[in-house]
Chain A
């Protein structure tokens, strides 16, 4: 469903080149759930953004369902692929009510039945429907993240790119959100590409995992590698050890 071949992303900032992603390849089958983990600043969000056309593809190719992505991505793309951003505040328009945030994608794509769909989406992510008429700054961090997830689901996409979808959420809302995502994947046959620094979350949600460091892919693991601690590289092992330590 998602194929990334030898992707490189270089940013030009202040007369410098920032090599955010260097030669990363991965391939995700339909209905599969794939995890990206690794060092902060290693290029995980940039890969997701490149898929959506929000970061330049300097080298390599990205294909969705066998077709190379078009630039600009277009409407058909956004009905098929939706992203939940890492930074829930920045991704919600500060002067739009939650109602508007959620109904806008429907309006753009000429989809009706807005009221019912908005209420349903709020219920799906465990927010009271009275939150419809609030603004993002009137919500807590975790409540905003749930709005961002609800928005991504409005168009019923086949592919979800999830950038730290639960790192702003407490344990109970994280559990509800992960359960919701798993249920939707099951019911609608969704494909996930998911970033998280929480290996327990990744292990719970993903079939395969790519470990990244400094713009490069370090090692691909499957779930058994994580459970049996059979990673080959020191970096992947160090990540695991630092988190295993948290299993009090």
Chain B
């Protein structure tokens, strides 16, 4: 069943230095599955994710032939309708977690705000839910972290707080932008298994944006490969390591390996044709 469908999405910024076309005609469908988006820095992954929530600030402009989420027309929805969808039904874990958290509010207040206002939980119940959510993402000392401010968290702790916050309302669609890039491999495995459980057991749809090709190959069902604002290849995640497109192959070849040579890593020879 299709949860999200995007047709010919375009995002552009009119800057002093000229028009920047960040996304140029992206189309995809998402079911209750794990869809990976990979691609080099600046290829438009974040802007694609933010567009779905209509979180592009002016002068950025979103255009699409169609963008539907579970029956709702995202291009036609009013700002109030979008606000009602965000958080509750669709959520995004931002790439810059510490920047996206409110710097002058402690973590506990940020985690419980929605529970108190939207779900009308008592302070005690909300606090218990927040502690559970932090424990689930392997935070060692949840009591302390609840009273901490974002600048008192490590990089990976900020990332996990952000994930906990987005998962508390049980969204139907989660867009996770580099959600585990600051996590050590063992904590990362725990966080991925939580996301996996939500897709399998609750039927959540997950867009998993990452530059970690090996991780995406192992964790996702399907992958979109982006280059200069376009999808250049779409394939089953298990086939990613045998990708056909020279760009995807090039990305794979640049990765260092444990025990590999210490000479310069191969670069990527970009071809203007790929951006067509």
Using CB atoms and an 8 Å cutoff, list the residues of chain A in contact with chain B: 11, 13-14, 16, 18, 37-41, 44-46, 86-87, 89-90, 130, 133-134, 138-143, 146, 163-164, 167-176, 178-179, 182-183, 197, 199-201, 203-204, 214, 226-227, 238-239, 242-248
- Assess whether A141 is in contact with B155, with CB atoms less than 8 Å apart: no
Bound-state CA distance A90–B150 (Å) is: 11
Distance in angstroms from A186 CB to nearest chain B CB is: 11
Using CB atoms and an 8 Å cutoff, list the residues of chain B in contact with chain A: 13, 15-17, 20, 38-43, 46, 95-96, 98-99, 138-140, 144, 147-148, 152-160, 178, 181-189, 211, 213-215, 217-218, 241, 250-252, 254-260, 262, 264-268
Residue in A closest to B22 when the chains form the complex, CB atoms: A140
* Cβ 8 A contact of B157, one of A40, A133, A164, A173: A40
- Assess whether B155 is in contact with A87, with CB atoms less than 8 Å apart: yes
Q: Which residues of B contact A16 (CB under 8 A)?
A: 144, 147
Distance in angstroms from A203 CB to nearest chain B CB is: 5
Bound-state CA distance A228–B38 (Å) is: 31
- Assess whether A14 is in contact with B147, with CB atoms less than 8 Å apart: yes
Minimum-distance CB pairs A-B, first 4: A142-B41, A40-B156, A170-B211, A175-B254
Q: Which residues of B contact A183 (CB under 8 A)?
A: 264
- In the complex, the number of residue pairs spanning A and B with C-beta atoms less than 8 Å apart equals 179
* Cβ 8 A contact of A171, one of B16, B185, B255: B255
Bound-state CA distance A179–B211 (Å) is: 18
- Assess whether A143 is in contact with B99, with CB atoms less than 8 Å apart: no
- Assess whether A172 is in contact with B251, with CB atoms less than 8 Å apart: yes
Q: Which residues of B contact A173 (CB under 8 A)?
A: 40-41
- Assess whether B148 is in contact with A175, with CB atoms less than 8 Å apart: no
- Assess whether B267 is in contact with A175, with CB atoms less than 8 Å apart: yes
- Assess whether A227 is in contact with B258, with CB atoms less than 8 Å apart: yes
- Assess whether A247 is in contact with B41, with CB atoms less than 8 Å apart: no
- Assess whether B184 is in contact with A239, with CB atoms less than 8 Å apart: yes
Given contacts A14-B147, A40-B182, A141-B46, contact A130 B98 (CB under 8 A): no
Q: Which residues of A contact B39 (CB under 8 A)?
A: 170
Which of B155, B187, B213, B268 has the largest number of chain A CB atoms within 10 A? B155
Q: Which residues of B contact A246 (CB under 8 A)?
A: 185, 214-215, 218
- Assess whether A239 is in contact with B254, with CB atoms less than 8 Å apart: no
Bound-state CA distance A169–B42 (Å) is: 10
Bound-state CA distance A146–B40 (Å) is: 13
* Cβ 8 A contact of A90, one of B13, B98, B182, B262: B98
Would you give 21 A-B contacts (Cβ < 8 Å), ordered by A? A13-B147, A14-B147, A18-B152, A40-B138, A40-B156, A86-B182, A87-B98, A138-B15, A138-B20, A167-B181, A168-B41, A169-B41, A170-B39, A171-B40, A172-B267, A174-B254, A182-B264, A197-B182, A203-B260, A226-B258, A248-B214
Bound-state CA distance A172–B96 (Å) is: 21
- Assess whether B99 is in contact with A14, with CB atoms less than 8 Å apart: no
Given contacts A176-B267, A242-B185, A247-B214, contact A168 B254 (CB under 8 A): no
- Assess whether B41 is in contact with A39, with CB atoms less than 8 Å apart: no
Q: Which residues of B contact A38 (CB under 8 A)?
A: 184
Residue in A closest to B256 when the chains form the complex, CB atoms: A204
Distance in angstroms from B225 CB to nearest chain A CB is: 11
- Assess whether B266 is in contact with A175, with CB atoms less than 8 Å apart: yes
Bound-state CA distance A89–B182 (Å) is: 14
